[in-house]
Structure 1
Amino acid sequence: MIAIKRSISFGVEVKKKPEADNRKNQKPEGRVRCVIVWHGQRVRLSVNHNVNPDNWEKSVQRCKAKTTHGKNKTPASVINKDLQEMEDLINSIFMRFEEAGRIPTKEEFSEAYDRQVNPEKYVEKDKIVNPADEPLFKIYDKFIKDGMTSGRWSEGTLVKCRTIRKHLYSISRKLSLNDIINGGINILIEHFAKVPDNFKQKGLANTTIKNDIAFVKVFFRWAQEHGYCDASPFLYQKVKLKTAEKPVIFLTKEELMKVYDFDFGHKNYLSQVRDVFCFCCFTSLRYSDVYNLRRSNITDSEIHITTIKTHDTLTIELNRYSRAILDKYADIPFPDDKALPVITNQKMNDYLKEMGKVCGIDTPITITRYKGTQRYDKTYKKYELLSTHCARRTFVCNAIMLGIPTNIVMKWTGHSDYATMKPYLDIADETRRSAMTAFNRFEDFMFPSDDRTKNNGGAESGAEN
């Protein structure tokens, strides 16, 4: 609560003097005015009374007792009572602002006063409108603006956010928060099941639908936190769609070194894309971070960056492969003193597929998707699935398979919990299990077939003895 220093004064404002011929017969009259001054603000209010200036006491700012005023001969007691009530009303308005802890502007005070003396003007305006029943798009736009100004969102997140807005708008231009809260996730599932996928076929894959609904929930959680709705019934609903675990696409160490050492000849654009990709494979950097990597972020042995996506401050040691890539471009100037020749994400993804094809990264990979209850299996060659994010997965998978402790890997990547690392740990476990089968052929390396037979016989003889 704060104290608002103010002054409230009443005075008589005489509009004009009576003409000379009528001065004896007509008493001068003036309109009572109220002037309020506070913290550099000033408001003049008119009082609905005319008074005789000769019967006005300036010292107390009231009419003299037992006098009458105006054409209707209004008693001084009535006028003074109205003036006191007006002063009390003005003080009560200021007290509400004091309790709210803020100083009103003259516009805010004038509206608050007008609401008290002319309430009928605000009946329609004050009808309670539940924002959750109104079209949600103005609220969604505030959500976008908040995400942009806070700096929490990457460019990819912003694109995703705008895509979701288009989906919601296509459901209904008048779609409200309560429409979704009351209708549940089925409204969204029914819509997404009709949207064409990347192959122009009806319906998005169940995995995509789950991800999109998860993003819608991010918006509803924000709307609830900002007082627009109670989204709990919607937020607690689970999306029960059948999905298949998506394989982690990464390069094995053999594939990585094949790409690293490959000679692309005159295709210099592929050499540069390969260098940026391999640099990420040896440092764990995301595309957004390598795109923004500047020479000032690099010392002789380390990279120091604040990540674009999560704002984590990371120190990543350089190994001989990442160091060699940086040295290759050390004397070549790039815009904004960038360290490497990084092109747009979309173009780089296209070139990575071409690079993988040229390098023979063609291991078949089958991906299973569900649309509703229908299962779809499609086999790709690995190069068809390469993207910039595969570099980060390549780093994590190979680091774990090299035996580097998971907590050390997480310090390089910025992962905050083990749950996000689980898919990579599962790959490492599977690789170790496969490697263990090599011991099934242990005797093939240690003993020729005849010797092994003799050895087995000796063991049996020993057992008999």
Structure 2
Amino acid sequence: MAKIRFLLVEPSAEKPTPLFTFLSFAGRRIKVYSGHSIHPKQWDAGEQKALTRGYPRNGALNDWLKVLTERIETCRDKHVAAGTVPSAEELRMLAIPEEATPAAAEPELATPAGPNLLTVFSEWIEGRSLTQSPNTLRTYRTSLRHLRDLQKLEGYAVDFATVGNGFAERFARYLLTKRNLVDSAVHKNLFRLKHFLNWALDNGYPIIADPKKFSWQHREPDILTLTRQEVQRLVDLDLSARPALDNARALFLVGVYTGLRFSDVAALRPEHIQADRLRVTTQKTRLTVTVPVRAEARPLLARVTEGTLRPLANQKLNGHLKELARLAEIDAPTERVRYAGGQRRATTAPKYEFVTTHTARRTFVTLALEAGVRPEVVMRITGHKSLSAFRRYVNVTEDTMLDEFSRAFA
């Protein structure tokens, strides 16, 4: 039998990386994670052990690797003799110390050895920096921060051995009661945790929960869009004496005329602009979309080419947009409805109070459909892959409903 050898996932990494080994069965190589990570500089690949000189805490890791090696060899020998292949669940269980199993301790009191879930989650987020936009990474870091705060405030050890099927409800309750989040935000945080747990499950980490159970029933909040007349009032504002607001308006209107997300508007470069279209690889999804250029957008895109359209931080731009909408008298009393724990929360304020950068993209979708552009064409421009996701961007206003009804039955 071949000797068990442990390998590093990223041998040249500048941060701790997981240890794993391979088992061979009937021509297949199955990866088995050790449940631990270590900095490559602290690992002696030849001796197959962690360095302890200067790192006294690594002695416990070496002890664990000996135990795990024995477990792996026993598992391998058993299946080789039977001519079978171990299941993924059986291999994952090898990396769970006996004292951390549910039979030996209550989940809330368990303090298992091995990789810490929050540490692995953090490393996973950073590892996605090459494929995900900064905004997406920021949302995952927010979810990680919520988990750390839950652990600190409630004294609950958030780890692989304690995040069971009931944890989804506990996390949701914490977000609703301690963070005062609405249902849609709770849903998004659980989705991010579910995404990570699925990855961890696929990579041999000791997951005891079923990631499918990490969901939260929610209703999408009402969306906000501007009417064609309200957009025109923004266009007609004289901002010659207020260049900062003029720049903010231009950024917003590019979104209204193209349907691009704010992150993509901020990243526009001259090479994206062609005679009659934009070709942009989106920051969030990495999809390449083609956007027809409307006449109204040309002067604004010229400012991109000239280098006179300045990107702003999202929060800063949102503040400017509320001021712009107030100046344009977009102030009709508007009710925004959100749901928290299934309870309806309604807020009424002047419409300008609710305008944000995302209003531009939703306005583009709604106005394009009102103008008669087919939904599948609009979806091709915005990069939406599913009709259910696309529908969340469509706002059928009362005025639009009355106008269309009158035309249909005049």
Q: Structure 1 residue 370: deviation in Å?
A: 3.4
Given that 2:165 and 2:213 are in contact with CA atoms closer than 8 Å, whether structure 1 keeps it comes out as: no
1:160-213 per-position Cα deviation (integer Å, ceiling 9, x unaligned): 2222112212222631123122433122023213324xxxxxx32233222211
Alpha-carbon distance change, 248 to 313 in structure 1, aligned in 2, over 3 angstroms: same
Partner of 2:403: 435
| Candidates 332, 352, 357, aligned match of 1:363 | 332
Partner of 2:151: 172
The 5-angstrom pairing of residues 363-382 of structure 1 reads 363-372=332-341, 374-382=343-351
Given that 1:259 and 1:274 are in contact with CA atoms closer than 8 Å, whether structure 2 keeps it comes out as: yes
Alpha-carbon distance change, 282 to 125 in structure 1, aligned in 2, over 3 angstroms: closer
1:286-318 per-position Cα deviation (integer Å, ceiling 9, x unaligned): 111111111121122221211111111122121
Does 1:388 find its partner at 2:357? Answer: yes
Does 1:297 find its partner at 2:311? Answer: no
Given that 1:184 and 1:234 are in contact with CA atoms closer than 8 Å, whether structure 2 keeps it comes out as: no
Given that 1:180 and 1:187 are in contact with CA atoms closer than 8 Å, whether structure 2 keeps it comes out as: no
Amino acid aligned to 1:381: P
Q: How far, CA to CA, are the matches of 1:123 and 1:333 in structure 2?
A: 60
1:219-278 per-position Cα deviation (integer Å, ceiling 9, x unaligned): 1112112111346524235424xx554122111111111111221241121111111111
Partner of 2:194: 217
Q: How far, CA to CA, are the matches of 1:262 and 1:124 in structure 2?
A: 69
Where 2:164 maps in the other structure, the secondary structure is helix
> Scaled by the length of structure 1, what TM-score is found?
0.61
The 5-angstrom pairing of residues 267-306 of structure 1 reads 267-306=242-281
The 5-angstrom pairing of residues 87-236 of structure 1 reads 108=45, 110-111=47-48, 125-128=65-68, 129-130=95-96, 133-134=112-113, 135-148=116-129, 151-172=130-151, 174-196=157-179, 203-230=180-207, 233-236=210-213
Q: Greater RCO between the two (CA within 8 Å, min separation 6)? A: 2
| Candidates 206, 226, 230, aligned match of 1:255 | 230
Where 1:249 maps in the other structure, the secondary structure is coil
Q: Structure 1 residue 413: deviation in Å?
A: 0.9
Alpha-carbon distance change, 190 to 244 in structure 1, aligned in 2, over 3 angstroms: closer
Work out the number of aligned pairs and report it: 318
1:366-388 per-position Cα deviation (integer Å, ceiling 9, x unaligned): 12233335443211221111111
Q: How far, CA to CA, are the matches of 2:276 and 2:339 in structure 1?
A: 46
Given that 1:185 and 1:234 are in contact with CA atoms closer than 8 Å, whether structure 2 keeps it comes out as: no
Q: Structure 1 residue 122: deviation in Å?
A: 6.9
1:392-446 per-position Cα deviation (integer Å, ceiling 9, x unaligned): 1111110011000111111211111211122345628x6654214435995xxxx
Where 1:367 maps in the other structure, the secondary structure is strand
Q: How far, CA to CA, are the matches of 1:415 and 1:404 in structure 2?
A: 15
Q: How far, CA to CA, are the matches of 1:176 and 1:427 in structure 2?
A: 45
Where 2:210 maps in the other structure, the secondary structure is helix
Q: Structure 1 residue 147: deviation in Å?
A: 1.2
Q: Which runs of 5+ in 1 are unaligned?
A: 1-94, 102-106, 113-120, 197-202, 335-339, 443-465
Q: Percent identity?
A: 26
The 5-angstrom pairing of residues 336-351 of structure 1 reads 340-351=309-320
Q: How far, CA to CA, are the matches of 2:64 and 2:256 in structure 1?
A: 63
Given that 2:165 and 2:214 are in contact with CA atoms closer than 8 Å, whether structure 1 keeps it comes out as: no
Alpha-carbon distance change, 100 to 332 in structure 1, aligned in 2, over 3 angstroms: closer
> Scaled by the length of structure 2, what TM-score is found?
0.69
Does 1:402 find its partner at 2:371? Answer: yes
Q: How far, CA to CA, are the matches of 2:317 and 2:333 in structure 1?
A: 22
Amino acid aligned to 2:200: A
Where 1:365 maps in the other structure, the secondary structure is strand
Q: How far, CA to CA, are the matches of 2:226 and 2:238 in structure 1?
A: 18
Amino acid aligned to 2:170: I
Where 2:136 maps in the other structure, the secondary structure is helix
Q: How far, CA to CA, are the matches of 1:111 and 1:378 in structure 2?
A: 61
Where 1:343 maps in the other structure, the secondary structure is coil
Q: How far, CA to CA, are the matches of 1:280 and 1:124 in structure 2?
A: 55
Q: How far, CA to CA, are the matches of 2:250 and 2:200 in structure 1?
A: 44
Return the index of the structure with the highest Cα Rg.
Answer: 1
Given that 1:284 and 1:392 are in contact with CA atoms closer than 8 Å, whether structure 2 keeps it comes out as: yes
Q: Which runs of 5+ in 2 are unaligned?
A: 1-23, 31-43, 50-60, 69-94, 101-111
Q: How far, CA to CA, are the matches of 2:248 and 2:66 in structure 1?
A: 61
